Amino acid sequence: MEPGAVDLTELIRPLAGADWWIVEGSGDVPSFKVTDGPGGARGEEFAGGPPSVCFPCGAALGATWDVDLVARVGASLAEETRAKGAHMLLAPTVNLQRSPLGGRHFECLAEDPVLSALLAAAYVRGLQSGGVSACVKHLVANDIEHDRFEISSDVDERTYREVSLLPFEHALRGAGAWAAMSAYNRLRGTHCSENAPLFAVLRDEWAWDGVVVSDWFGTRSTVPAAVAGLDVEMPGPPSHFGAGLVAAIEAGDVPMEEIVAKRDRLRRLTARTGADRTPPAPDGAGGSDDAVAVA
């Protein structure tokens, strides 16, 4: 496929959000909607929207050591997500509680990588059993809030593999999560949203076929991010995967094959979630009796 033979603006439309929650489709890639987690399906409103069930935070789930219960939480969250007219829940958070100073560690499951890995896999399986995509976050070694956009996690290889990556490996490779979210921080000096060695672990070593979404405003470049393997810039309108990406494709800096691969992954995601049959819908009320009982 040659750049001049297609409308590039239309071709790349699904590679960035249209707004905070919606990714617009084009051609054979339909639109889909995401909603925030992991303690519930928030919906589009930051306050005052239709009600949702509030589930125990990740640290509380981790304290149960109960994979079956966490899987039930995931299944209930799928129902809650559907009530919001969404196809993807931005959850679970599987970073490790490395320090008591980590400001978002209440979202994480545990300080132990094995416990986190087992519970993360259960959460993903439960959620996706309801046809809702998990978006496992924040990839990777994102365990401190100080200087959160620039700090570099310079972990040695053994720590990287056996500690930082282990929960992600169980969630993505083991449980087959359909999406993951790149983190704000740098990994060994390179931002996670444009970290080619990180994405190579996922796609080459683990043979993972899911979609990588940036954390909100976490895309830091056009060409490095696109070539490394980031699929979707969020939120929209895009800062990097819009006109700048079109120009990069036309200049030959981003191969057309990479754009086609991104669209293929998005098409697979939307088929798995049923977005090709059920378009995004306005927020509805959650709170089924089953979800309340599980929470």
Residues involved in catalysis: 215
Per-residue b or e along 115-145, where b marks 16 or more CB atoms closer than 10 Å to that residue's CB? bbbbbbbbbbbbbbebebbbbbbbbbbbbbe
Q: Which two tokens stand for residue 204?
A: 């080459």
Q: Which two tokens stand for residue 117?
A: 């890995």
The type of residue at 92 is P
Cβ neighbourhood burial of 156 (10 Å; 0-12, 13-18, 19+): exposed
Rounded CA-CA distance 266/251 in Å is 24
- Give the pairing type, strands 186-187 and 190-191: antiparallel
DSSP symbol at 136 = E
3-state secondary structure of 137: strand
Rounded CA-CA distance 5/16 in Å is 22
